[in-house]
């Protein structure tokens, strides 16, 4: 089954086409609900086309993402990206272009009335190319920035109308969870990355997922596929947001996570740093709080940590930036590790799944890999390409949802605060 994935929840416009096949066709439909580690059903996912435009450079100067600016960029880029992805997938032909009926044309104009300019580009594109061999469209319905989400949703709805195929509303956070379960397998025959999703059918439950991104910090209990319970979350800033805000204080570019991580890594390898901070002259003076680390629940708070960095920098404007970044990263990591460890133990979890943009952080990855090893549980981390927002995770989450309960509807709307449960 070929699925088109569309992601526009924040500052990445992403479109992909995946092909999902079952190694045991009879099990299609039960795949997503089976928790038995012995299941013989395996989903193989091939990425046929993938196109992504990041708006980072545009938002960089403002130090954050402005929803209306993000929307404008999605509007400008979505059709060219769709064309690129379909072309890469070799699904673009012109010998029998789609004819849009008058009735559909009116509907499309109504749907796109807030996305200025997109309607015209859409109609031009559709009337130039044949209907591609695609069976469904998965689109992010939330969580995210609503004006940005609407661009992807309205495009998906209109494509569903003109190509007469179903549209599957998909949860962005579920996308981050499934993106971690892919084992990349580079096909020796061609240079395209082929990803085999064997683990989707094989992970052992209960599982704990820690989702860490620019908008979320959540601990999720999975008793089975599609059975999510949020057991803890941040009470204020998300951890990625704290990285970005601290980076801004240190005059580093947006998004700040990778820059903090680089400064901290330099500091750790500089020889000044020692794990327990005792021998380090600089780190002795820098000590940030580990908010809520000992609280009995699974919630987080990163706003106090961010404010501690702010006050420290006000008092010590000439502080060593590497040391500040390092102590901040240590503090954030320790809290994430401690809370996750407690959740893994309480629920006797057999699997740990990390997802979201902050999982690109090498230090955090290493600490979680060590934790899993110590607890003797299996850990899944997304490959670098899939750790930040992308359309592949949306297409796969949509595919699992569709094969699980056949959900598809044209009554989709942007759900900025959509939750996993
Ligand atoms: O999942 P994502 O791409 O978008 C959201 O849904 O928010 O996550 C983006 C977040 C940003 O806050 C960014 O600073 C953070 O992920 N991030 C990192 C690293 N790479 C990206 N944070 C820490 N270390 C990194 N290496
Ligand atoms: Zn995300």
- Is residue 245 within 8 Å of 377, Cβ to Cβ? no
Read off the tokens for 99.
């004819």
Residue nearest to atom 8 of ligand 1 (CA): 357
**pLDDT of 120-135, one tens digit each?**
999 999 999 999 999 9
Which residue from 9, 179, 212, 214 has its CB within 8 A of the most atoms of ligand 1, so it is best to mutate? 214
**pLDDT of 213-228, one tens digit each?**
999 999 999 998 888 9
Region 106-112 average pLDDT: 97
Residue 95 has pLDDT above 80, yes or no: yes
* Partners of 2 in beta bridges: 19
Which residue is associated with the tokens 């420290």? 312
Distances 238 to 29, 111, 220, 298, 389 between C-alpha atoms, Å: 35, 33, 15, 14, 16
Distances 217 to 172, 220, 354 between C-alpha atoms, Å: 14, 10, 11
Q: Using alpha carbons, select from 45, 47, 53, 46 the residue that is nearest to residue 14.
A: 53
312 C-alpha vs ligand 2 centroid, how far in Å? 30
Residue 31 has pLDDT above 60, yes or no: no
Residue 192 has pLDDT above 60, yes or no: no
3-class secondary-structure state, position 386: helix
Task: In whole angstroms, give the CA distance from residue 286 to residue 315.
Answer: 11
136 pLDDT tier (thresholds 50, 70, 90): very high
Ligand 1 atom nearest the C-alpha of 388 is 3
274 pLDDT tier (thresholds 50, 70, 90): low
175 C-alpha vs ligand 1 centroid, how far in Å? 15
β 2-7/136-142 pair status = parallel
388 C-alpha vs ligand 1 centroid, how far in Å? 6
> What is the secondary structure of 199-239 as a DSSP string?
HHHHPPSSEEEEEESSS-EEEEEEEETTEEEEEEEBSS--H
- Which pLDDT score is estimated for 28? 38
Phi–psi pair at 21, nearest 5 degrees: -130, 150
Torsion of CA 75, 80, 84, 87, to 10 degrees: 120
Residue 62 has pLDDT above 90, yes or no: no
Task: In whole angstroms, give the CA distance from residue 196 to residue 316.
Answer: 50
Task: In whole angstroms, give the CA distance from residue 30 to residue 256.
Answer: 41
* CATH number 3.30.2130.10 is the correct assignment for the domain at 2-176+388-405: no
Residue nearest to atom 3 of ligand 1 (CA): 388
Mean per-residue pLDDT over the chain, rounded = 89
- What single-letter DSSP state applies at residue 65? -
Region 363-369 average pLDDT: 97
Higher pLDDT, 182 or 209: 209
- Is residue 177 within 8 Å of 200, Cβ to Cβ? no
- Which pLDDT score is estimated for 199? 47
Task: In whole angstroms, give the CA distance from residue 45 to residue 22.
Answer: 9
146 pLDDT tier (thresholds 50, 70, 90): very high
186 pLDDT tier (thresholds 50, 70, 90): low
**pLDDT of 331-344, one tens digit each?**
999 999 999 999 99
Ligand nearest, relative to CA of residue 248: 1
Ligand 1 atom nearest the C-alpha of 244 is 14
Region 52-74 average pLDDT: 90
Residue nearest to atom 1 of ligand 1 (CA): 357
Residue nearest to atom 14 of ligand 1 (CA): 257
Ligand 1 atom nearest the C-alpha of 389 is 3
Read off the tokens for 178.
């499934």
Q: Does an H or E element contain 324, and which?
A: helix 321-346
- What single-letter DSSP state applies at residue 10? S
Phi–psi pair at 19, nearest 5 degrees: -120, 120
- Is residue 143 within 8 Å of 238, Cβ to Cβ? no
**pLDDT of 391-421, one tens digit each?**
999 999 999 889 887 766 667 999 999 999 8
> What Rg do the C-alpha atoms of the chain give, in angstroms?
22
- Which pLDDT score is estimated for 71? 97
Residue 277 has pLDDT above 80, yes or no: no
Identify the CATH homologous superfamily for domain 203-381: ATPase, nucleotide binding domain (3.30.420.40)
404 C-alpha vs ligand 2 centroid, how far in Å? 23
Residue 38 has pLDDT above 50, yes or no: no
Edge to edge, the sheet with strand 12-22 lists 167-171, 136-142, 2-7, 12-22, 43-54, 193-197, 183-186
389 C-alpha vs ligand 2 centroid, how far in Å? 5
Nearby residues of 7 by Cβ (< 8 Å), 6 or more positions away: 13, 14, 15, 139, 140, 152, 172, 175, 389, 390, 391, 393, 394
- Which pLDDT score is estimated for 184? 66
- Is residue 392 within 8 Å of 199, Cβ to Cβ? no
- Which pLDDT score is estimated for 248? 95
Task: In whole angstroms, give the CA distance from residue 201 to residue 113.
Answer: 42
> Residues lining ligand 1, CB < 6 A?
10, 213-215, 240, 243-244, 255-258, 261, 356-358, 360-361, 388-389
Task: In whole angstroms, give the CA distance from residue 136 to residue 276.
Answer: 53
| Largest separation between any pair of C-alpha atoms in the chain | 75
47-51, 197-201, 291-295: least confidently modelled range: 197-201
329 C-alpha vs ligand 1 centroid, how far in Å? 13
Residue 188 has pLDDT above 70, yes or no: no
228 C-alpha vs ligand 1 centroid, how far in Å? 23
Region 134-154 average pLDDT: 97
Task: In whole angstroms, give the CA distance from residue 58 to residue 200.
Answer: 36
β 351-355/378-380 pair status = parallel
Task: In whole angstroms, give the CA distance from residue 331 to residue 285.
Answer: 14
Residue nearest to atom 7 of ligand 1 (CA): 214
Residue 43 has pLDDT above 80, yes or no: no
Residues of the chain with CATH 3.30.420.40: 2-176+388-405, 203-381
């Amino acid at each position: 089954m070929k699925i088109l994935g569309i992601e526009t929840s924040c500052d990445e416009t992403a479109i992909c086409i995946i092909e999902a096949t079952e190694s045991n066709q009879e099990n299609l439909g039960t795949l997503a609900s089976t928790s038995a580690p012995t299941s013989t059903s395996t989903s193989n996912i091939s990425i046929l086309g993938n196109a992504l435009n990041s708006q980072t450079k545009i938002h960089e100067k403002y130090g954050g993402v402005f929803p209306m600016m993000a929307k404008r960029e999605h509007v400008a880029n979505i059709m060219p990206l769709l064309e690129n992805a379909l072309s890469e997938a070799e699904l673009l032909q012109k010998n029998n272009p789609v004819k849009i009926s008058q009735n559909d044309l009116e509907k499309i104009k109504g749907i796109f009335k807030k996305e200025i300019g997109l309607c015209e580009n859409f109609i031009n594109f559709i009337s130039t190319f044949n209907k591609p061999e695609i069976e469904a469209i998965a689109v992010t319905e939330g969580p995210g920035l609503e004006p940005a989400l609407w661009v992807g949703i309205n495009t998906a709805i209109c494509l569903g109308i003109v190509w007469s195929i179903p549209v599957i509303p998909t949860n962005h956070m579920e996308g981050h969870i499934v993106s971690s379960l892919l084992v990349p397998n580079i096909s020796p025959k061609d240079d395209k990355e082929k990803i085999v999703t064997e683990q989707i059918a094989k992970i052992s439950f209960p599982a704990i997922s820690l989702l860490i991104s620019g908008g979320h910090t959540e601990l999720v209990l999975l008793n089975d596929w599609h059975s999510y319970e949020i057991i803890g979350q941040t009470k204020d800033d998300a951890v990625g947001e704290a990285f970005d805000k601290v980076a801004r204080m240190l005059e580093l570019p947006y998004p700040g996570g990778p820059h903090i991580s680089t400064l901290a890594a330099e500091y750790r390898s500089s020889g000044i740093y020692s794990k327990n901070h005792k021998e380090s002259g600089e780190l002795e003076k820098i000590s940030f709080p580990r908010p809520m680390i000992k609280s009995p629940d699974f919630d987080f708070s990163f706003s106090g940590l961010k404010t501690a960095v702010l006050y420290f920098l006000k008092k010590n404007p000439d502080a060593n930036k590497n040391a500040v970044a390092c102590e901040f990263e240590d503090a954030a990591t320790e809290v994430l590790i401690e809370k996750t460890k407690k959740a893994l133990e309480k629920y006797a979890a057999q699997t740990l799944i990390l997802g979201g943009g902050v999982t690109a952080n090498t230090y955090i990855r290493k600490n979680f890999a060590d934790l899993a090893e110590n607890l003797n549980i299996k850990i899944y981390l997304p490959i670098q390409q899939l750790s930040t927002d992308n359309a592949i995770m949306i297409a796969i989450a949509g595919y699992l949802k569709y094969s699980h309960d056949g959900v598809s509807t044209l009554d989709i709307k942007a759900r900025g605060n959509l939750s996993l449960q």
